[in-house]
């Protein structure tokens, strides 16, 4: 008989995973503290756009904001955010709070699996004791711990949850066996059996830290290329002709993973009395890029900032998703506003309600309206109407193309000035 699975946290990670288990025939429960989110899912609506209405209704999943649902689960999978605070210190409060709730409803023999990105030791040294305290059960005897880091790429319809190799670890061999069998039943790409929970935790953290460092290098190269007076796009195209050149590109690093996870490694090193240098350097470069982008726009204007009207296209941290968490696009907006510019924003994936909450002024690609259009998140809707974006810029104005996706000659033939990172 298959286990009953409960997914805690029904966001970008938890919901697709719940769907995969339900599709494989498991009794699948979903718990989230957000009652509004539960109501939407019951009605067949996923605001993250990871699943469509048909996918939500093709399987049987039980969604609830009542924590008593946890008592039915044989295996509880924690898919929760692990952000950083204002000082870039790891904030484990979502995971700790959820662990307290789960502990209160934990049944004997259950396995609790964490999928959140954490620093090594978190699952066994922080979460395990919380579960013990709240449940009155003994970890490793009455219940068991596992760790299988999420690898969801929001908005990616090709590399979906079942098509990405899953790293799996349990606190002992038997638990690892159970979890490998469980995940293997839904992950068609297969599983990688890690020798310990700490190894799996560390592996996840370095995946995103590695990307952060590579992008930081490209950002520094972009800034240097601009100083020299050559095009970053041309430099990368030439370098990419070598077979082992890594094709990373410059840009803004936001979101809930790449711009956050390195700080978890920094924190663990600090706890152990070790200084990190390379990781810190990468973070410093990427954290300052929103200001660098704003300065490039300001320097390109042919009017004073106080007289400039600017449209920023794309507020989400990446294209074709509605996720604005830790988005550096908003930092660009704030830098431009601080310089005195009148800034309007547009994003087809961000609701009017959220824009109002962020105190943003909305705008649109109206002809000859702006001194500069700043193209940050390349949503498919924008790329389908490149001419509309160009026409929104006044003659002689600036079209800023963060990712060098629009043809420079097209911009310049239209009488606008082209600037790119």
263 within 8 A of 119, measured Cβ to Cβ: no
Query: What's the mean pLDDT when you consider all of the chain?
Result: 96
Which one of the listed residues 180, 257, 341, 365 is annotated catalytic? 257
| Among 183, 47, 62, residue whose Cα is nearest residue 115 | 183
Predicted local distance difference test score (pLDDT) of residue 206: 96
Determine the average pLDDT of the residues in 261-281.
Answer: 96
Across 89-107, average pLDDT: 97
**Thinking of the domain 4-196, which architecture would CATH place it in?**
3-Layer(aba) Sandwich (3.40)
Fold classification of 220-420 (topology level) = Rossmann fold (3.40.50)
* 163 DSSP 8-state letter: G
The reported pLDDT for the residue numbered 71 is 97
> pLDDT class for 108, splitting at 50, 70, 90?
very high
User: pLDDT grade, residue 152 (50/70/90)?
Assistant: confident
Binned at pLDDT 50, 70 and 90, residue 256 comes out as: confident
pLDDT of residue 153: 84
- As a whole-number percent, the residues of the chain with pLDDT over 90 amount to 94
Per-residue pLDDT of 191-246, as tens digits, reads: 999 999 999 999 999 999 999 999 999 999 999 999 999 999 999 999 999 999 99
Decide: 264 and 334 in contact? Cβ < 8 Å.
no
Mean pLDDT throughout 54-69?
96
Do the first three CATH levels of 4-196 and 220-420 match, i.e. the same topology? yes
The pLDDT > 70 percentage for the chain reads 100
Contact 418, 401 (CB under 8 A): yes
pLDDT recorded at residue 255: 86
Task: Give the C-alpha separation, 409 to 83, whole Å.
Answer: 41
282-303 average pLDDT score: 97
Q: So where are the chain's domains?
A: 4-196, 220-420
Closest among 371, 304, 295 to 340, alpha carbons compared? 304
Cα-Cα end-to-end distance for the chain: 56
pTM: 0.92
257 is catalytic: yes
pLDDT at 1 over 80: no
- How high is the pLDDT of residue 50? 92
């Amino acid at each position: 008989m298959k286990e009953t699975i409960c997914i805690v946290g029904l966001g970008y990670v938890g919901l697709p995973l719940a769907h995969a288990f339900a599709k494989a025939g498991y009794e699948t429960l979903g718990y989230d503290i957000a009652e509004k989110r539960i109501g939407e899912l019951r009605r067949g609506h996923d605001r993250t756009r990871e699943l469509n209405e048909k996918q939500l209704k093709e399987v049987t999943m039980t969604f609830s904001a009542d924590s008593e649902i946890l008592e039915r689960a044989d295996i509880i999978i924690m898919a929760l955010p692990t952000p950083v605070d204002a000082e870039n210190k790891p904030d484990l409060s979502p995971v700790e709070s959820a662990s307290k709730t789960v502990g209160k409803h934990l049944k004997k023999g259950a396995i609790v699996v964490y999928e959140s990105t954490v620093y090594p030791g978190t699952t066994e040294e922080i979460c395990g004791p919380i579960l013990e305290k709240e449940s009155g059960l003994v970890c490793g005897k009455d219940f068991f711990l596992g760790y299988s880091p999420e690898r969801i790429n929001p908005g990616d319809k090709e590399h979906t949850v079942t098509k990405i190799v899953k790293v799996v670890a349990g606190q002992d061999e038997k638990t690892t066996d159970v979890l490998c069998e469980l995940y293997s039943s839904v992950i068609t790409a297969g599983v990688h059996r890690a020798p310990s929970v700490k190894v799996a935790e560390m592996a996840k953290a370095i995946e995103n830290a590695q990307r952060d460092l590579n992008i930081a290098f490209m950002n520094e190269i972009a800034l240097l290329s601009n100083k020299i007076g050559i095009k970053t796009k041309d430099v990368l195209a030439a370098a990419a002709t070598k077979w082992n050149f890594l094709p990373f590109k410059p840009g803004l690093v936001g979101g809930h993973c790449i711009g956050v996870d390195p700080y978890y490694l920094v924190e663990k090193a600090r706890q152990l009395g070790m200084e990190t240098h390379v990781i810190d350097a990468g973070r410093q470069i990427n954290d300052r890029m929103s200001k660098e982008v704003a300065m490039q726009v300001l320097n390109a204007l042919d009017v004073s900032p106080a007289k400039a009207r600017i449209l920023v296209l794309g507020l989400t941290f990446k294209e074709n998703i509605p996720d604005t968490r830790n988005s550096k696009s908003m930092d660009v907006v704030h830098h431009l506003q601080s310089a005195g510019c009148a800034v309007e924003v547009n994003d087809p994936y961000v609701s009017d309600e959220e824009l109002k909450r962020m105190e943003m002024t909305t705008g649109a690609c109206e002809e000859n309206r702006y001194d500069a259009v700043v193209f940050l998140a390349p949503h498919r809707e924008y790329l389908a109407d490149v001419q509309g974006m160009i026409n929104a810029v006044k003659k002689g104005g600036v079209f800023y193309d963060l990712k060098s996706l629009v043809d420079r000659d097209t911009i310049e033939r239209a009488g606008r000035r082209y600037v790119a990172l």
